[in-house]
Amino acid sequence: MTMSSNQATAPLADHVEGMGYLSSLPRRVVTVYLPLLVFVIVLLFPFYWMAITTVKPNDQLTDYANHSPFWVVGPTLEHIRYLLFETSYPGWLLNTIYVSVGATALALFASVLAAYAIERIRFRGSRIVGLLIFLAYLVPPSILFIPLAFIVFKLGIYDSKLALIFTYPTFLIPFCTWLLMGYFRSIPYELEESALVDGASRWQILVRVILPLAVPGLISAGIFAFTLSWNEFIYALTFIQSSENKTVPVGVLTELVRGDIFEWGSLMAGALFGSLPVVILYSFFVDYYVSSMTGAVKE
């Protein structure tokens, strides 16, 4: 009994280290700083390579015997001048913005309605419909562009930006719908029941209750749709013929590569400028994008 009493009154010791193993500098270097350094280098090196290639004179682009491939001596702006003033690149950039914003808006509108209907109205076969919508995302675009081309020709919108705005949602809507379904599912259903008791309609519930709570999910889906639309190549190459209607991915490749002649400086400048809007978009909305991965409202 005495031993038991002593054991019962003995203070409990917590032997769990937690994050204490990072207290020493060598461990922090190996487990934190070194992996972060490798990640940053791998992430930023393509941008660095595009930047130095953009300002490299032509004689340094391939002469690695006399010039370092990782540095530039005597930088020049000739490639940027050629890209901006002797090609249609500014127009390609505006076309890409116009198409990406239009396709993203259409995809989000359709995805919100589809995700809300599947998750909240719960009609018969809703789960099957949700699964089929997601499976549609797995269909390769290279298979779809042939029937879509037939529709585009029939509508008379070939070689126009509308051809891309109306075809891009075919691969944007499935994933955005699937993503928003998971986000709507995390919103407590009691909020919707309270609104129904107060006499709100389904449309009012969607606009005034669900969408304000789902802003991080909407931003996440919007960033995803905008990025895919911005970088899309197959449909833009198939449905656009004139140079003034091309987007950045197609215009840079088709106009700056002439046979076996590659305008490497202008190509890298076009790729660098074309990636900046997406980088800026992610930097502004990264907090919303991360929060959308953790759900909406805690019950």
Taking the chain (299 residues) in runs of 10, the rounded mean pLDDT of each run is 50 52 70 87 90 89 82 88 91 94 95 88 79 81 83 91 92 89 85 86 87 87 91 90 90 84 88 87 73 49
Distance CA 20, CA 79 (A): 52
Which uninterrupted H or E stretch holds 258?
A: strand 257-258
Query: CA angle 165-249-43, nearest 5°?
Result: 115
257 phi and psi angles, rounded to 5 deg: -120, 110
What pLDDT is recorded for position 20?
59
Query: CA angle 264-265-266, nearest 5°?
Result: 95
The 8-class DSSP code of residue 257 comes to: E
What pLDDT is recorded for position 201?
86
Domains, the chain, in order of start with CATH, read: 21-76 (no CATH), 82-294 (1.10.3720.10)
Distance CA 105, CA 96 (A): 14
Q: Which residue in 134, 116, 75 sits closest to 206, CA to CA?
A: 116
If one counts every other C-beta atom within 10 angstroms of the C-beta of residue 58, the result is: 13
What pLDDT is recorded for position 100?
95
Query: Bridge partners of 258?
Result: 261
How far is CA 132 from each of CA 172, 173, 250, rounded to the nearest angstrom? 14, 12, 31
Q: Which residue in 205, 182, 185, 187 sits closest to 195, CA to CA?
A: 205
